[in-house]
Chain A
Amino acid sequence: MRRNGWNLALFALMGGLLLIARLIRPEYGASDLQSLATEVLPIAFAAAAQAVCVIAGGVDLSVGSMMAFTTVTAAVLMKDGSEEFALVAVILVLLLGLVIGAINGLLIVVSRVPDIVVTLAMSFVWAGCALLVLSTPGGGAADWFKSLSVGSWGTEWVPRALVLLAIAVGLVWIPLRRSRLGLSMYAIGSDHVAALRSGVDVRRTKIAAYAVTGLFSAMGGLALTMNTGIGTPVPGPYTLASVAAIVLGGVSLVGGRGGMLGPLIAAFILALVRYDLFFLGVDANFSTVIQGVVLVVVVMIGGLVAIRRSRRRA
């Protein structure tokens, strides 16, 4: 119930921000919604990626680099291939994401180095791999692939990018969440010693969680190629954005708590804040300031609530 409460509050916040956009600019409508969804798509996938490994008690600072690696791979594979081959390319890129994510997890488990250090080091490695694949922005994308994230579905009020996001994340997360593996991820995130004692294979679960993180990162990379039509080998600000989105989305950095809906809404909220300020005529450079302030204020309120709750219990 408490998690739903947080999600409801996020929904209300998002609705409020949309309402503000509408009030400032009466012509704000369906097409703006579509472009918002298109723009948010990579960040939303990055948030989903970060959410999985944080729920399992880790953190992945290489999400942005993995996205860069997969986006250039996709762009190179699709450049000279036929429209049909693009489908194969998508599958190959998703597999690549799964593999590099699993490598992150494997290194964490084998080296016994803290997650944050391993993924920090691997963020250099994956960024270097991206440059190996493509040294300057380039490549291409199939036409049907590019059209996946623009326009609408059915009525003009349902952006196609939103449908794509819901299907892609849902197809992976809903079965996972209901499976034994998903339960194990929550278990090792909330208390890995207790999980170990109740028979969870902590190491294998951790590797699997990072593999799923890699898979969602690959989706984020594909979304980047989708939106731009090319691949850029330089990691964008997606690692930091993903951490901001999951914290705002109610995923506890301590692990074991939170869901997938919150981070996705949070990704939209962070983008909407920027939109609203842009419409208000605020200097575009203030957008990072405001994003930072939103992040800090939200976590401070969260901290205050947690302190008061623990005082009441004591």
Chain B
Amino acid sequence: MSSEAARRDRPVFLSVEGWLRQFRERPIVPLLLLLFALVVLLFVVQPGLLGRPQAWLSSTIRFAIPLAILAACQSLTMLTGGIDLSVATVASAAGFIVASQAPSQGALPAILLALAVAGLVGLMNGIGIGLFRVQPLIMTLGTGLVAGGLLVVYQRFVITVGARVPEVVAAVAGGTSFGFFPNGLLILVPLAMVIIIGLHRTGFGRLLYAVGDNPIAARLAGVRTWQVYVGLYVISGLLAGVAGVVLAGVINTAAPTIADSYLLPSVAAAVIGGTSIFGGRGGYSGAIIGALMLTVLNSLLTVVSAPQPIRPIIYGLIILSVAAAYARVTDDT
């Protein structure tokens, strides 16, 4: 205990240990540095971007927003030691429902319908995981399969000729104000604040950490863990639905597969953001930086015109090395 106190007294920036402690306790700082390094690298290889940094910044943020929301699903479920593999399908479904229903029903009812479907999938996940104690990996995999199949069937039977993303969604999610301010931030920022404050200041948020840290201890302490799981996965489903609607607005296309490729990046963003996949440790703020980093990385790989096969290889290796750096530094032993 006393050595711990002594360590705290020493100036942080003078010792390697201090830096590591900084890393461990505030993972956001080194993450921001890493993000900054990636951005600098991008500007070095593509000096042309310096001419119009606002346009670049605004488009990067616009594309990072749906990923950041999906990363919230993974961060929250990973806090309890789970994972949600149905988010990509749910997001695709939500985006497609909005695009296909809005022309006949109007934008708002279509969005509400999409969110209801997303919440329903989340509810199924929650019931399976909370009441039947199915492993989250399997349960969300299964519901993802079911939802994906139903989506294809739905696409067959609904009239999709006139399907298009409603203008209001495209404007709010994909548009910009004053020439550079991405309107999508108006969705992400309040959402992120609710999640971050909710995690630290509300009982439900603390229950997530408690259940993830030790589910048996939480149950013995009187927590109705199944209620936590049901609530959590419904929230995760709803967030995935929001992400899908936003993504539909960003890419402005009516297709039932828009978010399918976002599944692995969403997990990666949460892992880079410092949430332990075993539960009990992490948060959401890092995942937002993680989403930004992956988006910048993507444009970096596009800009250097890396051959198509090289890109996933670099992508995978970077995810792995960031995760490994985390494991090294946050390992308390």
List the interface of chain A (C-beta within 8 A of B).
59, 107, 111-114, 116-118, 120-125, 127-132, 135, 240, 243-244, 247, 253-254, 283, 285-293, 295-296, 299-300, 302-304, 306-307
Partner of B320, one of A118, A240, A247, A300: A118
List the interface of chain B (C-beta within 8 A of A).
83, 124, 128, 132-135, 137-139, 141-150, 152-153, 156, 264, 267-268, 271, 277-278, 308-313, 315-317, 319-320, 323-324, 326-328, 331
Contacts of B264 in A (CB 8 A): 120, 123-124
30 cross-chain CB contacts under 8 A: A111-B327, A113-B320, A113-B323, A113-B326, A114-B277, A117-B277, A117-B323, A122-B316, A124-B264, A125-B312, A128-B309, A131-B308, A243-B138, A243-B141, A247-B138, A285-B156, A287-B149, A289-B150, A291-B145, A292-B142, A292-B147, A292-B148, A292-B149, A295-B141, A296-B124, A296-B128, A299-B135, A300-B128, A300-B132, A303-B133
Q: How many residue-residue contacts, CB under 8 A, span A and B? A: 146
Residue contact B139 to A299, C-beta cutoff 8 Å: yes
A256 to chain B, nearest CB (A): 14
Residue contact B149 to A125, C-beta cutoff 8 Å: no
| Residue from B146, B148, B264 having most chain A Cβ neighbours under 10 A | B146
A135 to B311, CA, bound (A): 13
Partner of B268, one of A121, A125, A247, A283: A121
Partner of B142, one of A117, A296, A303: A296
> Which residue of chain A is the closest to B270 with respect to CB atoms?
A117
Contacts of A289 in B (CB 8 A): 145-146, 149-150, 153
A291 to B152, CA, bound (A): 14
A243 to B141, CA, bound (A): 9
Contacts of A124 in B (CB 8 A): 264, 312-313, 315-316, 319
A205 to B317, CA, bound (A): 24
Other 18 A-B pairs with CB < 8 A, given A113-B327, A117-B320: A112-B328, A118-B320, A121-B316, A124-B312, A127-B312, A128-B316, A132-B310, A135-B308, A244-B141, A244-B145, A283-B153, A290-B149, A292-B144, A295-B138, A296-B143, A296-B146, A299-B135, A307-B132
Partner of B309, one of A131, A240, A253, A295: A131
Contacts of B148 in A (CB 8 A): 288, 292
A261 to B193, CA, bound (A): 50
Partner of A125, one of B138, B313, B326, B328: B313
Residue contact A116 to B277, C-beta cutoff 8 Å: yes
B318 to chain A, nearest CB (A): 8
A279 to B144, CA, bound (A): 25
Contacts of A127 in B (CB 8 A): 312
B80 to chain A, nearest CB (A): 15
> Which residue of chain B is the closest to A115 with respect to CB atoms?
B277
Residue contact A292 to B316, C-beta cutoff 8 Å: no
Contacts of B138 in A (CB 8 A): 243-244, 247, 253, 295, 299
A228 to B327, CA, bound (A): 42
> Which residue of chain B is the closest to A134 with respect to CB atoms?
B309
B160 to chain A, nearest CB (A): 14
Contacts of B152 in A (CB 8 A): 285, 288
A117 to B265, CA, bound (A): 11
